[in-house]
Homo-oligomer: A and B are copies of this chain.
């Protein structure tokens, strides 16, 4: 079985983007937090997926995608906490509808109603709703709700602890995922995303977060940002700081996806990071949509890169393609069983 742990619903029907635009246009008004949700028919949802994510799943041999709202559209820096809460509910509800229409093909991960300067405790009700009521199995956690100015505390600060307590008690992992950047220094998918990944890893490396939360699990997307390329730097930094080796310090809690869009990058990732810590993903349709003219295949067709590595053992391949997902996403198997039952009923 092949599970892609990182897909966003970037092909949403126009009505959802229109709704968000209306919210943004009146972000300062109280009405932004109570706009009526967009009306989207089941057929529109089907249509938005059939020629896109579902087609790619079929063509690439992916059985199921762990699916979440558009990362770049989370826009936590826009509007108030109430705006963010309303937008998150609307956004997550649409993901739930996708997962209900295609219970064999998608399982949900939620966006959280973060807002700069607002204690992340405000995310607890929406997380709980998504997990307990909608059957979601994880959340995306933005390490920089300010959208590129990094004005909130690091992920390792006690500021985040109440949310982590809930995350741990629900047995869901958090994917560390920034949203769009309102800082002109950072291109969103080319700089801000990757910087967010690198930054989070280094925050974890310098903290005792996982002593406080031994079962807290983070997936760092985009292959871990710069981390695998600079693995020796991180090993050396940890050593100079008299921290334990990375394996002991972080690798029971931190996992990397495979959203790295060329063969040498994927090979490096698989060489330096233990297979137990790598989860297959391609983030379709995400940062890069084109076909690599040298290979004739999509840059983001990451399964091909992994398939072509002949030194990868069958056991490691299975871990990367599905085994690790079941371990990291504690609710994966139960959620699937429940949804199958629901679909059959």
Contacts and interface: CB of A to CB of B under 8 A. Distances in A.
A228 B265 CA distance: 8
Interface in A294-345: 299-300
Interface in A227-269: 228-237, 239-240, 260-265, 267-269
A240 to B, nearest CB: 5
- Output the residue of A154, A195, A289, A299 with the most chain B CB within 10 A: A195
A239 B230 CA distance: 26
B229 A205 contact: no
A233 B230 CA distance: 17
A288 B236 contact: yes
Interface residues of A, number: 61
Contacts of A262: 230-233, 235, 272
A260 B299 contact: no
A77 to B, nearest CB: 14
A149 B146 CA distance: 11
A332 B212 CA distance: 53
Contact of A153 (B184, B233, B268, B269): B184
Contacts of A157: 184
A85 interface: no
A236 B231 CA distance: 24
Given A154-B184, A228-B229, A229-B223, A236 B265 contact: no
B272 A239 contact: no
A247 to B, nearest CB: 12
Tell me the number of copies of this protein: 2
- Output the residue of A148, A201, A263, A299 with the most chain B CB within 10 A: A299
Contacts of A143: 185
Contact of A186 (B199, B223, B232, B261): B199
A151 B186 CA distance: 11
Nearest to A270: B264
A47 interface: no
Interface string A168-182: 000000000000000
Nearest to A265: B229
B239 A287 contact: no
Contacts of A52: none
A199 B287 CA distance: 16
B289 A190 contact: no
A4 interface: no
Contacts of A205: 187, 190
B226 A229 contact: yes
B240 A226 contact: no
Nearest to A157: B184
- Output the residue of A229, A263, A287 with the most chain B CB within 10 A: A229
A202 interface: yes
A206 interface: yes
A194 B237 CA distance: 13
Contact of A154 (B185, B222, B237): B185
List the 4 shortest-distance A-B pairs measured between CB atoms, nearest first. Answer: A232-B262, A236-B288, A226-B226, A232-B261
Given A190-B233, A198-B198, A235-B261, 18 more contacts: A150-B185, A187-B202, A190-B234, A191-B195, A222-B233, A226-B226, A226-B229, A228-B229, A229-B268, A232-B261, A236-B261, A236-B287, A236-B290, A236-B292, A236-B299, A240-B290, A264-B271, A265-B272
